Amino acid sequence: MEGCKGTQVYALNPSGTTTTTNGFGGGGGVGEKFLQNLLANPVRSRSDRNFPASQSKDEVNMGVLAEALASYGLPKTDLLEPQIEFCLKPMNFVETLADVYCRMEGCAQFGKSKMFLEQCAIFRGLPDPKLFRKCLLSARLHAVDVHTKVVLSAWLRFERREDELIGVSAMDCCGRSMECPGSALVTGYNPESATDPCMCHRGEDTEINMDEECSTSSSRGNEEEDFDMSFCIGDDEVRCRRFNIASLSRPFEVLLYGSFMDSRREKINFSNNGISAEGMKAAEMFSRTKSVDSFNPDIVLELLSLANKFCCDEMKSVCDAYLASLVFDMDSAMLLFEYGLEENAYLLVAACLQVCLRELPNSMHNPNVSRLFCSSEGKDRLSYVGHASFLLYYFLSQAAMEDDLKSNTTVMLLERMGECASEGWQKQLAFHQLGCVMLERKEYKDAQKWFEAAVEAGHVYSLVGIARSKYKRGHMYKAYKLMDSLISDYTPSGWMYQERSMYCQGKEKTMDLSTASELDPTLSYPYKYRAVSKVEENRLGPAISEINKVLGFKISPDCLELRAWFLIVLEEYEGALRDVRALLTLDPHYMMFHGKLQGEHLVELLSHNVQPCSQADCWMQLYDRWSSVDDIGSLAVVHHMLANDPGKSLLRFRQSLLLLRLNSHKAAMRSLREARNQATSEHERLVYEGWILYDTGYREEAIAKAEESISNQRSFEAFFLKAYVLSETSPDSESSLYVIQLLEEALRCPSDGLRKGQALSNLASVYVDVDNLDNAIDCYTNALNIKHTRAHQGLARVYHLKDQRKLAYDEMTKLIEKAKSNASAYEKRSEYCDREMAKSDLSMATKLDPLRTYPYRYKAAVLMDDHKEAEAIAELTKVISFKPDLQLLHLRAAFHDSMGDLTSAIRDCEAALCLDSSHTDTLDLYQKVQQRVKEQPPT
């Protein structure tokens, strides 16, 4: 999500650029003094502030924090900038999706992995991370060579951030063949292996010991009598059988049976070939046994070198595989990496590479690893062994950008990525991301150069980067003209007007921002700009209302910071503290006020201005926030509770659920991993691991974790997890009855009311699925009795099914009264009223949350019913331009089909199938339209 990147959007206030080590304004300025005074004289809570004018000391104290804020400088409109997206951004997203789907369908099986990788790059810019992970898994599933398997397996693991799980080793076999380190080292194409259990039995006690004695002695029986020659190495003589040695390779065959004088000698001097007598004994044994398992590693390394010199392919392959099996951690990888590169050992290098990739981002802090991956020489060495690819550097650069966007390592990896790029989309991505990084580093000339290279490769969106680079270099008019021509040459989009607004002033800027919001109401920058401009006019109330609009459907650290900033000025400290706590849940390391103050420090300051809360008080507050469907407020309360009890894994888990509700997937997974790490019992840890697996697409494995947890100890969360995953996996009636049993078992286990309310609501939903409406009503009513307000929506659904529309409408009205500004409540209520009232409710839903697609689909369907086909298509096209949703694309395809526009119908079907190739309704429509095209007479 754009909002979860934590990008600092405010430049430093020019009046206070000096910084001291404590993070405050420098030079002992007013900011530092005010904050020190604040800590010494805490302000009373807002409820205690009704003092007469004579008591001015407390009133003065109430303004201390506001004055401290002023010392850092209020946000200014001319310091705000929209974020340039780092991903591929096609000018016509639908056509791009359709083209990818067509090429995927016509692609040979062995080439599908590359196609899925391209799909990954396109989906990276979408807010749903599951689409990216799904494509990444498909790319791994269709991988053929070891290199691709190694990189994609490591990337899948990286997406789950298993490096953050305590007690988990990088090379642990997780039981899933798609991520198993052993499976990755097996070449071959097997797309049916996705559900196969992992067959890896990697030994846990394997170690490399270069000091072991060479184990070359074995029972040779009577074979010694067959020896007919010797290799003399120094003073040692190694007896061999000529035929066996000659069979190792063509060079040995020529040496021993060709026209050379050695072919007629019984003893051959082999002292200058870089192999010891022990090594030659091992070669003789290999010539008979075809195995190196009885040798220690340094002998196998000698055999590998001998195999390279004399082209012994079979011996090299066996040595390569054996050495690769010895690589199990960074120490062994670093020990053998150089040998593998020197000896061109493909599998050994792959094994070493795998460890480094599975240890990301920490492995890049190793200077040897960094030097190998970042330098052109290192890339060339990897290329010679067959392990330098665009895929490798794509993964490495993404990991580096997350670790440190502005580092030299990031720049060098992106440069290597560009050097490995061969296809158009690969060059576009590499050059565009290089431009973005250079822009962040304030190297504007280089940024412009890379953005221009991306445009030349076909990435039109990079014109935004060129314009921004020109603007930063003082060429504002050129930047404006560039964006103006872009708007003229292409179908206008919200981001085009947003960018052009950067380069104009006054009414023209206001108009551009209004147009940007009209074309794409999900863009954050116009809301932030309008809010800050109102602050500059001293209209703080309207400013907060403006920023509330975007926070209503997209929570982000920068918008929460703005609202907290405004609330502090208004001395609404409780609201400000709420927003800062929620912000720190999204980004624990966020720096407030132009990057000058740690968020945790601001929490400490604001806490002096509100009533202190015990853990019991916090629980009561959490129930109240939950009951009013205030997710941001709930998030803040949980943050406070964690400050009081930082090791409470259950609170971390609750935090992750709230973050998922707010579409903050990255932060949610971080909280879930922390919950797993802090779990005090085995059964609890298994539940959290199960949720991690479910969220990353491994449903069967998640169920297995839940069952293992239940076998250890029956608990609410284990039963709930199993029921939840099963309800998603198997929607048939038999499974529904089993899910009911599981949820009933969960409700018999101890838990708090909030979780039991959720379980009752889920149980009622399953009862509805099996047509047991009376039991469903009982469950929803019980959920409402323990303040699970969202149960109103389920109860309304039941009344609707019982043909009691008035009761359904009234139930949703109760939800709207309790959960103010809740878009889904308005959307759902529209289903229980007449057309005009439905239009009003859906209009409100869209106003509150422009990302909800049902209102657009409803409006388009009404227009089609009224025979306003062009308007219906236009309505869908408008929203698809900023939210290419599967259902929207399917509906527009159906509309095109009904109007006889078969070409457009096929395009929309293909775009929808690119998002989900198994969508049954779209597949049926696609086949029907294709058949109609075939039946048309030739023109």
Burial of 281 from C-beta contacts in 10 A (0-12 / 13-18 / 19+): buried
User: Which pLDDT value is given to residue 203?
Assistant: 42
Confidence of residue 197 (pLDDT cuts 50, 70, 90): low
User: Which pLDDT value is given to residue 211?
Assistant: 41
648-673: pLDDT as tens digits: 899 999 999 999 999 999 999 999 99
User: Which pLDDT value is given to residue 823?
Assistant: 93
β-bridge partners, 310:
none
Report the 3 state secondary structure along 127-191.
CCHHHHHHHHHHHHHCCCCHHHHHHHHHHHHHHHCHHHCCCCCCCCCCCECCCCHHHHCCCCCCH
User: Which pLDDT value is given to residue 311?
Assistant: 92
> Pick the residue with more confidence: 934 or 68?
934
Confidence of residue 642 (pLDDT cuts 50, 70, 90): very high
User: Which pLDDT value is given to residue 176?
Assistant: 73
Burial of 208 from C-beta contacts in 10 A (0-12 / 13-18 / 19+): middle
Judge whether residue 801 has pLDDT over 90. yes
516-564: pLDDT as tens digits: 999 999 999 999 999 999 999 999 999 999 999 999 999 999 999 999 9
β-bridge partners, 856:
none
Share of the chain above pLDDT 90, in %: 68
Judge whether residue 306 has pLDDT over 60. yes
User: Which pLDDT value is given to residue 161?
Assistant: 83
Burial of 613 from C-beta contacts in 10 A (0-12 / 13-18 / 19+): middle
Share of the chain above pLDDT 70, in %: 88
User: Which pLDDT value is given to residue 582?
Assistant: 96
Judge whether residue 228 has pLDDT over 60. yes
Cβ atoms of residues 75 and 157 within 8 Å? no
Confidence of residue 389 (pLDDT cuts 50, 70, 90): very high
DSSP track, 8-34:
---PPPGGG--B-TTSSBSTT-HHHHH
Peptide bond before 361: cis, by omega within 30 degrees of 0?
yes
Helices (H), 594-681: 599-607, 615-627, 631-644, 649-661, 665-678
373-382: pLDDT as tens digits: 999 999 999 9
Helices (H), 359-472: 367-374, 376-385, 390-403, 408-420, 424-440, 444-456, 463-472
322-360: pLDDT as tens digits: 999 999 899 999 999 999 999 999 999 999 999 999 999
How far apart are alpha carbons 540 and 366 in whole angstroms? 50
Class of domain 523-605: mainly alpha
Judge whether residue 504 has pLDDT over 90. yes
Question: Dihedrals φ, ψ of 231, to 5°?
Answer: -105, 125
List of residues 6+ apart from 888 with CB closer than 8 A: 853, 856, 857, 876, 879, 880
Domain boundaries, the chain: 523-605
pTM here is: 0.87
Judge whether residue 1 has pLDDT over 90. no
748-788: pLDDT as tens digits: 999 988 899 999 999 999 999 999 999 999 999 999 999 89
User: Which pLDDT value is given to residue 268?
Assistant: 86
| Section 224-229 average pLDDT | 73
Helices then strands (H, E): number in the chain?
49, 5
Name residue 841's amino acid: D
How far apart are alpha carbons 87 and 208 in whole angstroms? 42
**Which of 794, 732, 812, 715 has the alpha carbon at shortest distance from 758?**
794
| Section 903-910 average pLDDT | 97
Position of tokens 């002096």?
608
* The token pair that represents 168 in the structure block: 């988990």
How far apart are alpha carbons 356 and 119 in whole angstroms? 25
Among 65-74, 319-328, 698-707, 892-901, the least confident range: 65-74
List of residues 6+ apart from 137 with CB closer than 8 A: 156, 178, 194, 697
| Section 859-866 average pLDDT | 94
**Which of 189, 121, 106, 149 has the alpha carbon at shortest distance from 421?**
121
Question: Dihedrals φ, ψ of 232, to 5°?
Answer: -95, 120
Q: What is the mean pLDDT of the chain?
A: 87
399-450: pLDDT as tens digits: 999 999 999 999 999 999 999 999 999 999 999 999 999 999 999 999 999 9
User: Which pLDDT value is given to residue 195?
Assistant: 60
Judge whether residue 12 has pLDDT over 60. no
Name residue 437's amino acid: V
